[in-house]
């Protein structure tokens, strides 16, 4: 069974990550919903009827992604009897994602994912108005950190 996990990401709050996670959850009723937001509980509240699973990636001391927690998520995905997972990354976790890829070697990470039959889809939300520039800067950082090893889909929120 191949598994697919969507990381809904953007380092800037208010870009529309949780709204997109909600819309995907509505579209894919069979998906497991993961709330990886350490700061807010938007997805937990919006999708309470779907019983989202709260997952924490950040080390509370360093405020960086904890490698064992990150790997543990993928181990849980492997063991789960579901094929699709939608993960709402909060701004604090999303901000650390490019740094995590750069520090840990995105090629090694993708190798582990491929060996485990997990397809990681990164969906970067780009906001409009006064957050457009900051969201585009994050997208550029994310693209650079993945070095072509991971597909990144851009979801443009015009509001």
Sequence spans of domains, the chain: 3-157
**Sheet strand arrangement including 3-9:** 53-54, 32-36, 84-89, 3-9, 118-127, 152-157
Mean pLDDT of 4-8: 95
% pLDDT > 70, the chain: 89
Q: Which residues pair with 120 in a beta bridge?
A: 5
**pLDDT classification of 69: cutoffs 50, 70, 90:** confident
Predicted local distance difference test score (pLDDT) of residue 86: 94
Predicted local distance difference test score (pLDDT) of residue 62: 83
Q: In the predicted model, is pLDDT for residue 35 greater than 80?
A: yes
Q: CA-based Rg of the chain, rounded to a whole angstrom?
A: 15
Predicted local distance difference test score (pLDDT) of residue 4: 95
Biggest CA pair distance of the chain = 43
**Exposure of 29 by Cβ count < 10 A (0-12 exposed, 13-18 middle, 19+ buried)?**
exposed
98-129 pLDDT per residue, tens: 999 998 889 988 998 999 899 999 999 999 89
For 85, phi then psi, to 5°, come to: -135, 135
**pLDDT classification of 75: cutoffs 50, 70, 90:** confident
Does the domain at residues 3-157 carry the CATH identifier 3.40.50.300? yes
Mean pLDDT of 53-81: 82
pTM score: 0.87
Chain mean pLDDT for the chain: 87
139-154 pLDDT per residue, tens: 999 999 999 999 999 9
Q: DSSP labels for the chain?
A: --EEEEEEE-SSTTSSHHHHHHHHHHH-TTSEEEEE-SS--HHHHHTGGG-PEE---B-TTT-SB-HHHHHHHHHHHHHSS-SEEEEEE-HHHHHHHHHHHHHHTHHHHHHHHHHTTEEEEEEEEEE-GGGHHHHHHHHHHHHHHHTTSS-EEEEEE--
Q: Which residue in 43, 96, 44 sits closest to 70, CA to CA?
A: 96
């Amino acid at each position: 069974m191949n598994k697919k996990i969507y990381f809904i990401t953007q380092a800037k709050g208010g870009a529309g990550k949780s709204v997109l996670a909600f819309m995907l959850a509505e579209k894919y009723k069979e998906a497991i919903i993961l709330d990886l937001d350490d700061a807010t509980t938007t997805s937990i509240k919006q999708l309470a009827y779907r019983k989202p699973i709260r997952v924490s990636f950040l080390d509370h001391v360093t405020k960086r992604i904890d490698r064992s927690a990150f790997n543990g998520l993928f181990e849980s995905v492997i063991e789960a009897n579901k094929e699709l997972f939608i993960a709402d990354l909060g701004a604090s976790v999303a901000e650390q994602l490019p740094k995590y890829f750069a520090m840990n070697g995105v090629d090694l990470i993708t190798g582990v994912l491929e060996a485990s039959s997990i397809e990681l889809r990164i969906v970067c939300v780009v906001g409009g108005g006064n957050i457009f520039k900051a969201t585009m800067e994050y997208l550029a950082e994310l693209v650079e950190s993945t070095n072509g090893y991971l597909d990144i889909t851009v979801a443009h929120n015009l509001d």
